[in-house]
Structure 1
Amino acid sequence: MPAETRDLTGTVVLVTGAGAGIGAATTTLLLEAGANVVVADLDRDRADASVAGWPADRVLTHRVDVRSADDARDVVAAAVERFGRLDSVVCNAGIGAFGGILDHPDERLTAIVETNLLGTVWAVRAAVAHFDQRGGGGDVVVVASVAGLGTAGGNESVYASTKFGQVGLAVSLDRELRPRGVRVSTIAPAAVNTGFADGLGRTAGDPLKDTYLSPLDVGSAVVTVLRQPRRMRTALWSMWSMAEDA
């Protein structure tokens, strides 16, 4: 007998950082599963390009700076106006850089902290406010990193701190929101073959990237937790390439 799964057809999912990388892969897989997707990205043109060819009634692209609480509320409101509701939020937007604690300007480190951590807080707050308004239920998926599980190297301390923060936020939210029917899942991948940190510790086109996880690997995990029957939840899913030491 096949395992029971939820049908995502017609559900509405907001994905932040959805214009490229993990976010774009997740968006594609969600659309293939029948969901309607709100494609939120700092670059509206990139968001539009990521869903070119999909029916216009299945997608909504929206420029969002996740560091802005107002932008988070605006995109949730736009989702509700367009589709009538929001069922899930995937907090995927993130940036990073490799190097020592003194190797980057203040502005870059501030952007990493605000994008990765505050960007998650604002998206969750906006989504949960809607979940509560409609009577409860919903899903929050946080795309963090194994760097937030104690595996970070000595050249990513600020980035790792934001990922620890995301994991801590999600663990606490799981306890807070479960009585209201909201599931909170954390997906924590190791290295993924995207443009992450290119020019800031990684190199575009580096053959080593071919040994990393693919964005579709992570997107598949997101879809899997959303398709779980409502009686169960996945609190933490860590993922590694077979070529990378855990």
Structure 2
Amino acid sequence: MDLTGKVAVVTGSGQGLGLAYARALTAAGASVVINDIDADVAKRAVAELPAGRAVAEVVAVGDADAAQRLVDRAVSEFGRLDIMCTNAGILRDRVLWKMSDEEFDAVVRVHLRGTFTCVRAAAQRMREQNEGGTVIVAGSPAGQRGNFGQTNYAAAKAGIAAMVRTWAMELAKAQITVNAVVPNAATAMTRTIPAFAPYVEAWEERGEPLPDALRKGEGFGTADDCAGLVVFLASAAARQVTGQCIGIGGDKLSLWSHPQEIASAYTDGGWSADAIAAAWPTSVGRRPETYGIVMPS
């Protein structure tokens, strides 16, 4: 994949998945704006990348000013913007009855609002350039299935998936593709999940490879395992791919379905509560949908 001359912004790219994406994009020839809230982390990330093709913009994503700073930095340093990859994220996990307003708002601000403001600013610039572009946002299995203790995170990621489908329609005329990457990787965030924690720690601290039961069975791998999908989506090979939520992790590549009606029933004059109760077990409610992320045992 040749991305020579392309310019990308990758939010939350000082470490983890974002840094893996930045490494892969620059390896393919692109220039990248690294973003993190920690100046030292951002500086170290830039030092890892090819000289002259990476700069750091230290700002917390969420509001419009931060998004504009990222777009402006790409244009001022490299002359244009071709790829917006929104990866920045935080967790504030807690069950519903214990979650505070502050914990809910913080996660929604970074993930949902941060994605919206960054993509809006990028879309405005790309439309001005009139040469198309690529938007890649971060989804999650939690946004597709729900996850215990993650009301805020699941809601934000579900909203991002809905925005992808909306933006794919709105930006099609401008030849801007919009897709969500749904990664499953060993990161600081997944290290907090008890089922994955021992494997992440063994890999990070002792260099032990992730077992096939995770890489193949769960589609769970390293951050670098996910980076090829970002490069593909930014390339000419993916110009017809848009509006999709694409899973990647370990040895697994997948396509997530969109919500759709799977069963329906009709009755003359409309449905009373009693009629619904009578019909439910044998019609639309005969095979209810599952929910929740299945964790490795």
TM-score, reference length from structure 2:
0.73
Residue 239 of structure 1 is matched in structure 2 by 248
Does residue 53 of structure 2 align to residue 45 of structure 1?
A: no
Q: Which one of 151, 172, 175 corresponds to residue 181 of structure 1?
A: 175
What is the Cα deviation at residue 58 of structure 1? 0.6
Residue 207 of structure 1 is matched in structure 2 by 198
What is the Cα deviation at residue 214 of structure 1? 1.2
Q: Which whole-Å deviations, capped at 9, do the CAs of 1:136-185 have from their partners, x for residues lacking one?
A: 41000011111111x22222122100000000001100011011110001
Q: Which whole-Å deviations, capped at 9, do the CAs of 1:194-246 have from their partners, x for residues lacking one?
A: 11165xx547x932334432111222211111124364215221235579958
1:1-246 aligned within 5 A:
5=1, 7-149=2-144, 151-190=145-184, 192-196=185-189, 201-202=192-193, 206-209=197-200, 210=210, 211=214, 212-229=220-237, 231-234=239-242, 235-240=244-249, 245=294
Residue 289 of structure 2 is matched in structure 1 by none
For 1:196, give the aligned amino acid: M
Inter-partner Cα distance in structure 1 for 2:102 and 2:29? 40
RMSD value, Cα: 2.2
Conserved 8 A contact 2:177-2:239: no
Inter-partner Cα distance in structure 1 for 2:226 and 2:93? 21
Inter-partner Cα distance in structure 2 for 1:27 and 1:171? 25
Gaps of 5+ in 1: none
Do the aligned partners of residues 133 and 113 (structure 1) sit closer, same or farther apart at CA in structure 2, a change above 3 Å counting?
A: same
Do the aligned partners of residues 55 and 215 (structure 1) sit closer, same or farther apart at CA in structure 2, a change above 3 Å counting?
A: closer
Higher relative CO (CA 8 A, sep ≥ 6), structure 1 or 2? Answer: 1
% identical equivalent positions: 33
For 1:236, give the aligned amino acid: C
What is the Cα deviation at residue 109 of structure 1? 1.9
Gaps of 5+ in 2: 201-209, 215-219, 253-292
For 2:166, give the aligned amino acid: S
Conserved 8 A contact 1:89-1:141: yes
Larger Rg, first or second structure (1 or 2): 2
SS at match of 2:47: coil
Moved more, 87-96 or 50-59: 50-59
Inter-partner Cα distance in structure 2 for 1:184 and 1:164? 15
Conserved 8 A contact 1:113-1:158: yes
